[in-house]
Amino acid sequence: MQTLVARLGGTAAAMPRRIAIQQGARRINYRALRDAALRFAAGLRARGVQAGDRVGLALPNGIEAAVAWYGTWRAGAVVVPLNAQARERDFTAWLRHGGVKLLLHWHGHADAAQAAGIAGVPTLVLGPDPDPAGMFADASTDAAADLPMPDATALAAILYTSGTTGSPKGVALSHRNLAVNTASILGYLRLGAEDSTVSTLPFYYTYGASVLHTHLAVGARMVLEDNVVFPHLVAEALERERATGFSGVPSTFALLLDRGRLEHYDLSSLRYLTQAGGAMAPALTRRVREAFPGARLFVMYGQTEASARLTCLAPEHLDEKPGSVGTPIAGVEIRVRRDGGADAEPGEQGEVWARGDNVMTGYWNAPEATAAVLVDGWLRTGDLGHLDADGFLWLAGRRADMIKTGAHRVHPQDVEEVIAELPGVREVAVAGIDDALLGQVVAAFLVAGADAPDEMAVKAHCRRRLAGYKIPKQVAFVAELPKTASGKVRRAALTQGT
């Protein structure tokens, strides 16, 4: 299995002048990207970074971030991508836990700089003017070209999962993990050098990193946009660049549909859409398909612990299996198991277990946490679901998110999908709140779009579609839902103060 950094070298040799990444008016072709990565690798080695050392990247999406990823790998070191929007407290914990040897951040990033000082980590400061060629510009590409390519079994990255509490949890991924998962995604999307995407997903979480790596692996073009808060500008970029693909989490698509003014743009170039980063209600799936009739929608499921992707619902099954997350991607096995470890019957709910070469090597410096989720080569995902008779996976949410109301158990996703059917509901999340009589009751939190329903209308619709114990006792309208960096709803934060 060829590593991703080796694939970049091959792409640069085969199509050197093809544009790899563009950001505003800036462009970098594959030869320049490879050479910048080589200089970066040489510069790291000159600063004492050795094979296996961890290099922290507190960078927003940009050409420099891509150079740093691949340059770190070319030096034989390990990429530790950190949420660039985090604060000093988080940075300090990550730097210490990861044993980071060097931290790269932009000029003026006070939190990253302060954390590095507290943790005693040397820094490399970029800017204030962006220039990927200027990173270690005096370093020789020849010096780095003589460095050995990292072995497939070597550690490639440590990704800190978002939304966790307590000690940092770093997912350790090998070069093989990333290369295998990338190859599987390329297979079902049929990505090629003629493809291009407008990307708004951050590289420091697994979905955004996966979009980066899949496109660079085949010589495709990435257009970086940071205007997700202005969806019409994303739609404008899709039209202007004649993008063939677009990837987003459910809230990304909800915003595009609600505020993107899609009817004003020619989006006929779009060949495919991908969705991950949390469950997308069938009602939103239908709206996306109606808004992008010429694009094939791939509904995907995965975890950081699986290098990104575990299953995919192919476009041809969207009508047949609405609400399913599909079947395992190439190289992945999926089982649903009872609490005792035995396989569940088709239609019987249990915990989703996964196995494949994409599954992490473990949690960094956390043997007990690793042993709890890696069992005999299988990853215990912590997600609840069932397999149907055709082998399609249906998720019911996280085990920890289960609402226990009286003698009943309610999965938030069941209620969310019903509320999402109502016109004017842009986003919805459901959580349990404490109740003296029942232990917990169901509460719904809605982000309203145009012509949104009121509380009575929401409850009336739920009465028609749900069992009585699933009907929300409280309905609140909020400006936005609290989310992790990866776009998943932080349910615990919903109930604070209720």
Residue with tokens 């073009």: 221
d(CA 71, CA 137): 13
DSSP, res 315: G
Of 234-248, 269-283, 351-365, the range with the lowest mean pLDDT is 269-283
Provide the strand spans (E) within 59-199. 78-81, 100-106, 123-126, 155-160, 170-174, 196-199
Give yes or no for residue 296 having a pLDDT over 60.
yes
What letter represents residue 380's amino acid?
R
Cα Rg, the chain, nearest whole Å? 23
d(CA 1, CA 176): 7
| Mean pLDDT of the region 288-302 | 96
DSSP string of 196-259, one letter each residue: EEEE-S-TTSHHHHHHHHHHHHHT-EEEE---TTSHHHHHHHHHHTT-SEEEE-HHHHHHHHHH
DSSP string of 147-184, one letter each residue: SPPPPTTSEEEEEEPTT--SS--EEEEEHHHHHHHHHH
193-216 tens-digit pLDDT: 999 999 999 999 899 999 999 999
Tokens of 106: 């932009």
> How far apart are the two ends of the chain, measured CA to CA in Å?
51
Q: Predicted confidence band at 313 (pLDDT cuts at 50, 70, 90)?
A: very high
391-428 tens-digit pLDDT: 999 998 777 787 878 767 788 888 999 999 999 999 99
Pairing of strands 123-126, 100-106: parallel
| Mean pLDDT of the region 25-36 | 95
The partner residues of 301 in beta bridges, in order of sequence, read 311
Q: Predicted confidence band at 162 (pLDDT cuts at 50, 70, 90)?
A: low
Give yes or no for residue 135 having a pLDDT over 70.
no
DSSP, res 341: S
Give yes or no for residue 323 having a pLDDT over 70.
yes
Give yes or no for residue 164 having a pLDDT over 50.
no
% of the chain surpassing 90 pLDDT: 74
46-64 tens-digit pLDDT: 999 999 999 999 999 999 9
Q: Predicted confidence band at 357 (pLDDT cuts at 50, 70, 90)?
A: very high
